[in-house]
Each structure stands twice: as C-alpha cells, then as structure tokens.
Amino acid sequence: MLTVTQARERILAALTPTPAETIPLAAAHSRVLAAPVIARLTQPPADVSAMDGFALRAQDAPAGATLKIIGTAPAGHPFPGTIGPGQAIHIFTGSIIPAGADSVLIQEDSSTLGTTLTVNESCVPGKNIRKAGQDFAAGETLIAPGQRLTPGKIGLAAAANHPWLAVHRKPRIAILATGDEIALPGEPIPEGGIISSNAHALAAFVSACGGEPIILPIARDTMDAITAGAKAAAGADLLVTTGGASVGAHDLVQDSLKSQGLALDFWKIAMRPGKPLMFGGLGALPVLGLPGNPVSALVCALLFLRPAIERLSGLPGAAPATTTATLTAALKPNDHREDFLRATITQTAAGDHVTPFPVQDSGMLKTFAHATALINRPQHDPAQDSGATVQVILL
C-alpha cells in the first residue's frame, strides 16, 4: 500500500493548473494570479508630504524662525508655483511637495498667525517627505504569478492601476456521491437508508479551497448509473466520487469507471480513516475516489483534495501544515496505517494541549464536525504517554 505522502505526490504529479482568465479586480480576492502584476505607474508619482503641515526650505526654518505662508495645496491640488526664501505653503498628507521646498514642518511643531508661520522645531531636509517611487516604480514586478490574492495584494494591484487581472480559472470539481442507501436532505429516505452528507460537505470544502463545486445527482449502485454520472462530469477539471471505491461486490465505482477506460493509478493507502482511496484518469479527466464514510471522506479531502485543488489553481499544492501539541491522554501503539485522530485543542499558558475523542469510529460525523484538530500519528508510532508531544493538523 502507498503511504499518504506517496499518494499525494502521485496525485499532484498528474495535475496541471487551469488556464488563465481575465477578471475584474473587484472579483479577484483569493484567486491565484496567472500573470505578473507590473506597476503601470510610479508610487508616489512625485515627492509627497507624509503629514499635514508646511512645505518650506529647511535652511529657512531653524527653531524660532518665521516664514510667510503664500498658499495652500490640498492633496489633488498641487501648488503651481515655486517656494522662494522665507516662504511656505500649507500642505496635507499626500500633497505634492512644491518646487523649491525640501522639507515639511508638521502642524504640531508650528504656530500660525494670519499668513505668518512660526517654526517651533528645527527642520531638516527631506523630513516628512515620501520620495517619488518610495513604494514602487513603473515597470517593477509587484506580484509574481502563482500567488493567492490577499486584500493587501488586491490593494497593491489597484494602486499599480490594474482594473483587470489574469488569474487561473477556478478548478471545476465534479462531485459524484454513489449508493442505493442515500437520499439528499429533505427527500424521501429509502428503507434502511440514510441522508447523504458527503456531497454537500465536500462542495463546501471545495468552495473553501477556491474550487467551483458541481454536485452531480446521486448515482445508484448500478454500472449504468455510475457511468452516466461520470459522463456528466465532462468539462470538469477533477471528478471526485464518494463511496464504492474499494473492491467489494457492491463497490461498483471502480468497475464502472474501468469499463469506460479508467487508467487506475492506485486504490489503497496506508492510512486511517480512509484506506480505500482511488486515483486514476478517465481520458484527460483525473478521478479521485474518496471513501463513502463521511469522516473518512473529509479527512481524505484535507489530505488529498485540498492539495489537488491548489495544484489545479496554480499553486504548488502541499500537505496540511502541522504543528505540535501536548497530549492529555495516552495512546496505544499505532499499526502500519498513518493515523489521523479526531481531537480538540485547548490553548494554555504552557502551549497547546490536544485531547483525542475517546471513540474514534469513522462513522461519527458529529465528532469530526466538532473536532478542532487531527492528531497525525506516523506509521508504527509507538505508544505515547499523556504529556508526550505529538504532531497535529489544526482544523
């Protein structure tokens, strides 16, 4: 069986980023940039004042000097003239420094009487002036491609005069839940059946990762139904199935997709929960088969689907970040399957403490929904005492 890391590497190696599309800056938050953002102007465009105060010549303005205020230049209304000896103009944050001036005396360090300005603190050249290009210069690459656009980067692209940006198209992730026993919430429940939670939980997960979920109708447990479901995924960047991925008599997903030409890469990995994880390609369409069990499906989504969506989005795609925490309960030795225990994190003065739920049955969705961390135990991890330091993935 593959390890979790091997499986993730094989999935990532099979995926390529979506092509670029042009979208308005106002819609670009959290999208992944597909072309560099190059400054279309210099910022600030000229030397500007960093404060409200008076532009003047520093040589005229030792403490105690008096100068004549010859005008006012709010931001956006540059002073057209030149500052001569003994002269000053009233300026504001963002105002362009007028010709002749080389310093700004801030309002708090001055007093005025009519047009007479008295200097209370000596001025030095360059003081309170933001030089032209201090932030960036026209032609400079401000944001390299392959980065997710944060509010700060959106602001930077705006300041550099970009109303449109080229970003990777959101990966379209088709989600196919299978099973005779499942019904969508609010619909009639078959005898002995349960409500399907996977499709909507995974759709939320896909959205949270920046993908565009497409929920296909539930496929019943027949070859034809699953074949029809897979065909409906045409145009998607990834087909995610849930249920039926292992090789039981009623696990038809593999058989059905194979009948359509699935090139199966692997279908088993050494992890808990979630051993029956399938990956392959149906022509150009990558297919990720998640377990049908909701907890297993969501843990596998975290470990494999998120990196896959990242890779499709133009990011590298990486394992979930881990951190360390102190165990509050003993753990028995682990077997050959890498384990992901549902747990809660408590912040204490002595660092984070982590408490696994006493029952780890992967049928318990409530436990997963309220977990705030997964304890990540390596294969063959020996027994751990309470107080040991363990690796955790924060949820």
Residue from 249, 284, 349, 350 in contact with its own copies (CB under 8 A): 249
Quickly list H helices, 265-305: 294-300
Q: Minimum Å distance from CB 185 to its own copies?
A: 4
- Binding its own copies (rule: CB under 8 A), the pick from 15, 32, 176, 205 is 205
Can you tell me which of 56, 233, 354, 395 binds its own copies, judged by CB under 8 A? Answer: 395
- By rule CB under 8 A, what string of x and - marks binding of each residue 260-289 to its own copies? ------------------------------
CB 7 → its own copies: shortest distance, Å?
A: 21
Residue with tokens 């920046």: 210
Q: Which of 64, 113, 114, 185 binds its own copies (CB under 8 A)?
A: 185
Give exposure, 89-106, as e/b (b: 16+ Cβ within 10 Å): bbbbeebbbbebbbbbbb
Using CB under 8 A as the binding rule, the residues of this chain from 85 to 144 that contact its own copies are 90, 92-96, 107, 130, 134-136, 142-143
Both tokens of 383, joined, read: 């027994």
- What is the phi/psi pair of residue 4, to 5°? -60, -45
Q: Return phi, psi of residue 366, to 5°.
A: -60, -45
Whole-number minimum distance, CB 158 to its own copies, in Å? 4
Is 226 a binding residue for its own copies by CB under 8 A? The answer is no
Q: Does 50 bind its own copies (CB under 8 A)?
A: yes
Residue from the set 8, 162, 169, 272 that interacts with its own copies by CB under 8 A? 162
Q: How far apart are CA 280 and CA 309, in angstroms?
A: 16
- Which helix (H) or strand (E) segment holds residue 73: the answer is strand 66-73
- For position 293 contacting its own copies by CB under 8 A, the verdict is yes
- Of 92 and 266, which has the nearer Cβ to its own copies? 92
d(Cα 243, Cα 245) in Å, to the nearest integer? 6
- Determine if 374 is a binding residue for its own copies (CB under 8 A): no
Do 247 and 254 meet the contact criterion of CB atoms below 8 Å apart? yes
Of residues 273 and 314, the one with the C-beta less far from its own copies: 273
Residues numbered 6 to 45 that lie near its own copies (CB under 8 A) are 25-26, 28-30, 41, 43-45
Q: Does the protein bind its own copies through residue 392 (CB under 8 A)?
A: no
186: contact with its own copies by CB under 8 A: yes
Q: State how far the alpha carbon of 350 is from the alpha carbons of 44, 181, 358, 386, 394, in Å.
A: 46, 48, 23, 15, 18
Q: For its own copies, give the closer residue by CB, 147 or 227.
A: 147
- Residue 341 touching its own copies (CB under 8 A): no
Pairing of strands 389-394, 323-327: antiparallel
Q: Can you say whether residue 103 is alpha, beta or left, with left for phi > 0 and alpha for psi between -120 and 50 degrees?
A: beta
